């Protein structure tokens, strides 16, 4: 694409192929840095384009550079998203079962039913059509970049969910991805190996990555064995048309250690729940995914992007074992077909985007009672279907020097059919958004927006709907309004120092928030409810800097701190009053302070400070706060890298995540211990 005039701001945050086609904006356009990146900014044109896109969103958007992930231990979404403010990510079983919450989404902490955030790969959905995001399909190290659009800032992806959207962008040989061998190993029998090979031949390019990962786990009955294959190939059909195919296969076999009572956790956090061992609880998933994206650059001012995806996930999940009364094994196949259409056109001072997302998900199989290694008896048939259509339009209008108005809307039409519950219904809504960006300096800006939030229930929320109501009565969709203001930028401090920041403050009023709570009359059984009114508000801040030590540029100190302050409450609820919503802490601070030498050597401490949380809606069961300390070190060369990392050096006994109850008894088995003291090393060779 040709460069636009200086009066025009660049395109919206799009899927990966659209990013690849977007031309770097002129020097007079805003050039804001991402504060998550640790690599040399000048050497990554793709990231510079993403930073320009970030600068054109009037709200919280974070960028992650996949290169920075190679220099620390990363096996889960929690590791990958460590320095993204506004997110609460907790891992307690293995890397493939992270609890993910953004701006207070998914606070009922139903581990299997993650929702509230739209997950995408290369702009195409990984989240199912009913809104469920089983994040086991995502491999953090298979992304060259990731874009985290928090809350209503995900309109560019067609999402209006409470938590927003995360787009994981695949590396390609055409964009400069190199052949590499990556190895890491550490405590509790953990090791991982990855090899990536690719190249460019004329109009064709291809890249293939094979990985294997194993871990014994830091608790009993926590072993994981995961294998994955990721590939993509691109073809330049004409000078104006480019197409790319994506394929992935993952086979993840993992044992689940279950949950503990508070006393069990205090006595021995490494033990497993007795029922998990007796029932051989597992979370075995075999999945594959095929996708294609084609970009047609029509002319210098317009572009059309078309995408298709097909995904299958086969789940084998023994999860409850309490003979002779009850046992549960989930054996299902989930299939999702997705499509997207995006048309982008610049017209004078306007930059228009029109998009369409289509998705259909079916889940078929059954729930079984079982004996470990023995008979399985069908207890209920699973036959669910969801269809989802999202139409969205957005305009970015530079109506005056240093002022940009961003406005648009999403229209959604989605249906749910849950055969086992006899439920079938439709949800429709139009969700507007308006925002404003004020460019104070070329690298500093203020922003504000007001947007509508809308989210329909998932299959699992409908299956768990409170009984006793009118026949075929569906849960209502969650809806609300969010107000957001913030600032981001970079400021030089003398000739050798600088600091950068990304701060957003938001306030959301919700109606009908969908929460899964424990049935007071049958503990351990989930019931979904529509809470009348709730508030989700918070401050999200990430601050980083680079400071020279002395007059030489060889020695630098680089601190980085991610601070999230949450205010999630019921608002005058008839049952819970103004109680605090459970699961997420009020305060979460994560950071590091690294010394860096010009030779490529780095070293420094890391820290995590997490306040207490409630484990029930009644606010009677409090999970303690904790502080963790660690160390990171490494050395980077032209074609190689090595690192070492120590976590939880004080061997602190803490709770990572837990199941939420209506009113949790002191003896309730709901706690998942966090990782004890652990050590990891890794190396990468590029060739």
Burial level of 90, CB count in 10 A (0-12/13-18/19+)? buried
Summarize the confidence of residues 415-420 as an average pLDDT: 91
* Residue (of 147, 209, 140) closest to 178 by Cα position: 209
Task: Name the pLDDT band for 550 (thresholds 50, 70, 90).
Answer: confident
Summarize the confidence of residues 613-622 as an average pLDDT: 95
Alpha-carbon distance 51 to 69, whole Å?
18
* Helix and strand numbers, DSSP H then E, in the chain: 7, 33
Buried b (16+ CB within 10 A) or exposed e, 238-277: eeeebbbebebebbbbbbbbbbbbbebbeeebebbbebbb
What pLDDT does residue 110 have?
55
What pLDDT does residue 91 have?
82
CB within 8 A of 122, min separation 6: which ones? Answer: 15, 16, 17, 167, 168, 169, 170, 244, 246, 291, 293, 307
pLDDT of residue 526 exceeding 90: no
DSSP run (H or E) holding 274: helix 274-278
Name the percent of the chain lying above pLDDT 90.
77
**Is 183:156 a contact under the CB 8 Å cutoff?**
no
State the architecture of 16-686 in CATH terms. Answer: Beta Barrel (2.40)
Query: Each residue of 224-269: pLDDT tens digit?
Result: 999 999 999 999 999 999 999 999 999 999 999 999 999 999 999 9
* Residue (of 679, 665, 677, 672) closest to 269 by Cα position: 672
CB atoms within 10 A of CB 223: 17
Question: Which structure tokens are listed for 264?
Answer: 């069990």
Summarize the confidence of residues 611-638 as an average pLDDT: 96
Alpha-carbon distance 290 to 309, whole Å?
6
Alpha-carbon distance 61 to 247, whole Å?
28
Q: Which residues pair with 634 in a beta bridge?
A: 602, 643
Which phi and psi angles does 461 have, rounded to 5°? -65, -35
pLDDT of residue 294 exceeding 80: yes
Question: Which structure tokens are listed for 527?
Answer: 């019931």
Query: Omega into 226 within 30° of 0, i.e. cis?
Result: no
Query: Each residue of 484-520: pLDDT tens digit?
Result: 999 999 999 988 999 999 999 999 999 999 998 766 6
pLDDT of residue 13 exceeding 90: no
Summarize the confidence of residues 311-331 as an average pLDDT: 92
pLDDT of residue 46 exceeding 80: no
Sequence-ordered alpha helix ranges (H) in 548-639? none
**Is 516:526 a contact under the CB 8 Å cutoff?**
yes
Tell me, yes or no, if the pTM score tops 0.85.
yes
* Residue (of 19, 3, 241, 249) closest to 123 by Cα position: 19
pLDDT of residue 112 exceeding 70: no
- Mean pLDDT (the chain, rounded): 89
Domain layout of the chain by residue ranges: 16-686
């Amino acid at each position: 694409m040709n460069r636009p005039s200086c009066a025009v701001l660049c395109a919206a945050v799009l899927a990966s192929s659209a990013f690849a086609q977007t031309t770097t904006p002129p020097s007079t356009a805003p050039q804001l840095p991402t504060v998550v990146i640790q690599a040399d900014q000048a050497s990554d044109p793709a990231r510079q384009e993403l930073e320009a896109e970030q600068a054109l969103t009037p709200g919280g958007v974070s960028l992650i550079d996949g290169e920075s992930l190679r220099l620390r231990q990363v096996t889960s979404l929690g590791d990958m998203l460590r320095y993204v403010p506004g997110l609460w990510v907790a891992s307690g079983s293995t890397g493939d079962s992270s609890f993910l919450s953004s701006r207070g989404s998914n606070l009922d902490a139903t581990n299997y039913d993650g929702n509230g955030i739209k997950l995408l790969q290369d702009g195409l959905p990984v989240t199912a059509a009913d809104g469920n995001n089983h994040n086991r399909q995502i491999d953090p190290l298979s992304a060259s970049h990731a874009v985290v659009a928090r809350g209503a800032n995900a309109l560019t992806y067609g999402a209006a969910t409470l938590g927003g959207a995360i787009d994981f962008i695949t590396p390609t040989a055409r964009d400069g991805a190199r052949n590499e061998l990556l190895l890491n190993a550490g405590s509790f029998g953990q090791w991982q190996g990855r090899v990536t090979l690719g190249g460019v031949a004329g109009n064709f390019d291809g890249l293939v990555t094979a990985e294997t990962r194993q871990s014994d786990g830091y608790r009993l009955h926590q072993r994981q064995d995961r294998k994955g294959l990721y590939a993509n190939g691109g073809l330049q059909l004409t000078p104006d048309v480019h197409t790319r195919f994506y394929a992935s296969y993952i086979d993840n076999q993992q044992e689940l250690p279950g949950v503990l009572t508070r006393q069990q956790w205090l006595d021995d956090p490494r033990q497993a729940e007795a029922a998990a061992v007796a029932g051989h609880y597992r979370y075995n998933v075999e999945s594959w995914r095929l996708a294609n994206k084609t970009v047609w650059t029509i002319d210098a001012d317009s572009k059309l992007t078309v995408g298709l995806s097909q995904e299958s996930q086969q789940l084998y999940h023994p999860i409850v074992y309490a003979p002779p009364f009850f046992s549960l094994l989930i054996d299902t196949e989930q299939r999702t077909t997705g499509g997207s259409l995006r048309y982008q056109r610049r017209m004078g001072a306007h930059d228009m985007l029109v998009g369409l997302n289509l998705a259909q998900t079916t889940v078929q199989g059954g729930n079984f009672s079982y004996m470990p290694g023995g008979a399985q008896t069908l207890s209920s048939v699973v036959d669910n279907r969801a269809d989802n259509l999202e139409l969205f339009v957005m305009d970015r209008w530079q109506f005056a020097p240093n002022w940009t108005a961003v406005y648009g809307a999403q229209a959604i039409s989605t249906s749910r059919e849950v055969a086992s519950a006899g439920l079938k219904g439709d949800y429709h809504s139009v969700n507007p958004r308006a925002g404003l960006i004020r460019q104070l300096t070329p690298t500093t800006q203020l922003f504000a927006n007001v947007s509508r939030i809308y989210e329909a229930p998932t299959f699992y929320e409908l299956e768990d709907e409170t009984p006793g109501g009118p026949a075929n009565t569906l849960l209502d969709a969650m809806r609300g309004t969010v107000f957001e203001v913030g600032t981001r930028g970079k400021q030089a401090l003398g000739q050798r120092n600088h600091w950068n920041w990304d701060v957003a403050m938001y306030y959301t009023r919700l109606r009908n928030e969908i929460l899964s709570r424990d049935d007071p009359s049958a503990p351990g059984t989930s019931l979904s409810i529509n809470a009348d009114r709730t508030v989700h508000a918070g401050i999200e801040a990430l601050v980083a800097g680079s400071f020279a030590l002395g007059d030489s540029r060889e020695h630098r100190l680089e601190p980085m701190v991610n601070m999230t302050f949450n205010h999630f409450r019921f608002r005058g609820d008839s049952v819970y009053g103004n109680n605090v919503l459970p699961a997420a802490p009020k305060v979460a601070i994560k950071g590091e302070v690294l010394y860096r030498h010009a030779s490529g050597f780095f070293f420094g401490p890391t820290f995590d400070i997490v306040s207490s949380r409630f484990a029930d809606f009644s606010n009677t069961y409090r999970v303690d706060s904790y502080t963790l300390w660690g160390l990171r070190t490494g050395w980077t060369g032209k074609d190689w890298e090595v690192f070492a990392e120590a976590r939880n050096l004080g061997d602190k006994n803490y709770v990572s995540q837990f199941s939420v109850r209506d009113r949790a008894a002191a003896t309730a088995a709901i706690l998942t211990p966090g990782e004890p003291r652990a050590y990891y090393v890794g190396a990468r060779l590029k060739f």
